[in-house]
A = this chain, B = another copy of it.
Amino acid sequence: MAQRQVAFPQVDCAECPIRHRAVCARCESDELEHLEAIKYYRNYEAGQTIVWAGDKMDFVASVVHGVAALTQTMEDGRRQMVGLLLPSDFLGRPNRDRASYDVTATTDLQLCCFRRAPFQELLSNTPHVAQRLLEMTLDELDAAREWMLLLGRKTAREKIASFLSIIARRDATINPKTRSGELAFDLPLTREAMADYLGLTLETVSRQMSSLKKDGVIVLEGKRHIVIPDFDALLSETGDDSDGGVY
Contacts and interface: CB of A to CB of B under 8 A. Distances in A.
Contact of A82 (B53, B70, B75, B148): B148
How many copies, total? 2
Interface stretch (A136-144, A164-172, A214-222): A136-144
Interface residues of A, number: 45
Contacts of A146: 72
Nearest to A238: B74
A152 to B, nearest CB: 3
Contacts of A78: 153, 239
A130 B130 CA distance: 7
Nearest to A96: B138
Contacts of A130: 127, 130-131, 134
Contact of A148 (B80, B93, B134, B137): B80
Interface in A105-147: 123-124, 127, 130-131, 133-135, 137-138, 140-142, 144-147
B74 A239 contact: yes
